[in-house]
Amino acid sequence: MHKFVIEGGSKLSGSVTPSGNKNEALPALFACLLTDKPVTLKRMSRIGDVLTVCQILNGIGVKTEWLDDETLVMDASKANSHKPDPNLCMKVRASILMLAPLLTRFGKVELALPGGDVIGARRIDTHWEGIEALGGQLSLEKVITGTLKRAVGTEFFLDEPSVTATENLLLMAVRAEGQTILFNAASEPHVGGLCNLFNGMGAKISGIGTNKIIIDGVSELQGTVHTIGPDFMEVGSFLCLGAIGGGKVRVEKVNTDDMRYPLKVLAKLGLNTTSGADWIEIDGTKELKMSKDIGGRVGSVYSGPWPAYPTDLMSVAIVAATQSKGTVIFFEKMFEGRMFFTDNLMRMGANIVLCDPHRIVVTGASQLYSMHMSSPDVRAGMALVMAALVAKGTSEINNIYQIERGYNNIDKKLEALGARIKRTQA
């Protein structure tokens, strides 16, 4: 077990390059189960969740080979079991994405319920209904068991644009007989990334990046080389950090199109950015002041399915708001457990009112003071690191495996920007 020891108050400046998107990398690993040919994935992050998924896949006969720090070759030609290790599956949410590929490959599946961040109820009904609409038969006792004779394309309306449900249905529909049309599909960049990977493997998917995805099933898929897109959660985290770090931070090799809404939220919190073709810079040397809505009303930031503000970027924006003059309300519409980490910020000196599980009011700017804390989940953990970096004194953050599940070499990247952060034995 490791912890971060962080001495707050250093000026942060310089440039940083984000790793590949965790939430594109995880479904991409499972996509490899649908072909016997090797698939090479570039800009892969060696984060905790990726390593756990590789372990799960190794357990059912899939070969995984790192060619270098960011290139992973997957070979599922000898996959031999429809029953992945339940203990490993219970460690990651993304394990639910094995439902479709194992059914397609073996005609049957036995899968433990998924784990991952404890941030809300996280229903799987949309996955379930969609897979049954495509021909699967599922039942749940202690584990999910299922069978599939033949997947047949259909029109399916998702009752909510769930990211992983859309991905599970893509994983099923690419090799189904005939055409599938997904209505009210998730349109996050990582869903588009999975579609692009599939098309590289010979699938026929259109409507990529929209909420109506059309999949013409093919009988087999080939190997390919695919590059994972930059992690926009990491980009947003570095921009929020740069804004309060007292210097100028440039985030490079980003997809600026992914950042349209996050940049609007940053502007609302008084954080101004400049952008080029594939970089965004934030100037943290100026005093931050939140903007108000017309008529002098208190502004609000609320999360929603893409292209609205991503729920995964709420926690870092909240920390940025504690350092900006003014008042803002944050409304986390998706998960009912994601705001509770703010009690740590309150104890550090932030002026926050937790109205209910979904809404908080932040009034800034507040001086934060160091604290010993524990990371509750991956995004809240990153927010606590940020808070510790601007706090007076030395903070300790335990349970950092939660942060390292999603952020690659985060201590090294922060050190390069001037942060005083040490990773030590807890």
Binding site for ligand EPU (CB under 6 A): 22-23, 26, 93-94, 117, 120-123, 160-165, 186, 305, 310-312, 334-335, 378-379, 406
Bridge-based pairing state of the strands 71-75 and 2-7: unpaired
Cα 168 to Cα 20, 26, 147, 206, 239: the distances in Å are: 21, 12, 15, 17, 32
Name which of 37 and 333 has its Cβ closer to ligand EPU.
Answer: 333
User: Which of the residues are catalytic?
Assistant: 117
Residue placing its CB nearer to ligand EPU in the complex, 161 or 223: 161
Cα–Cα separations (whole angstroms), residue 356 to 91, 263, 352, 369? 28, 26, 12, 25
- State which amino acid sits at residue 125: D
As beta bridge partners, residue 5 has: 396, 422
Residue holding tokens 């908080």? 360
**Residues 372 and 395 sit within 8 Å (Cβ to Cβ):** yes
24 CB contacts (<8 Å, ≥6 apart)?
A: 189, 190, 193, 194, 228, 229
Tokens of 356: 């209910």
- Give the residue with the Cβ less far from ligand EPU, 208 or 218: 208
Comparing CA positions, the residue from 420, 381, 397, 287 lying closest to residue 11 is 420
Write down the least CB distance from residue 233 to ligand EPU, Å.
6
Min. distance of Cβ 98 from ligand EPU in angstroms?
12
Longest Cα–Cα distance in the chain: 65
Closer to ligand EPU by Cβ: residue 250 or 413: 413
CB 77 within 8 A of CB 117: no
Q: Residue 288 is encoded by which pair of tokens?
A: 């931050």
Angle formed by the axes of helices 378-390 and 314-322, nearest 10°: 20
**Which among 383, 342, 378 is positioned nearest to 363, based on CA atoms?**
342
Torsion of CA 314, 18, 22, 169, to 10 degrees: 90
Q: Which helix (H) or strand (E) holds 261?
A: helix 260-268
Which residue, 257 or 293, is less far from ligand EPU as judged by CB? 257
Q: What number of other Cβ atoms are within 10 A of residue 113's Cβ?
A: 15
For residues 26 and 228, which CB has a smaller minimum distance to ligand EPU in the complex? 26
Quote the DSSP letter at residue 293: B
* 367 CB neighbour count, 10 Å cutoff: 12
- What is the token pair recorded at 100? 């479709």
Q: Side chain identity at 308, as an amino acid letter?
A: A
Q: For the chain, state the CA radius of gyration.
A: 22
392-402 core/surface letters (b: 16 or more CB in 10 A; e: else): eebbbbebbeb
CB-wise, 360 or 403, nearer to ligand EPU? 403
Nearer to ligand EPU, 262 or 406 (CB): 406
Which is nearest to 43 in space by CA: 163, 197, 187, 167?
A: 197
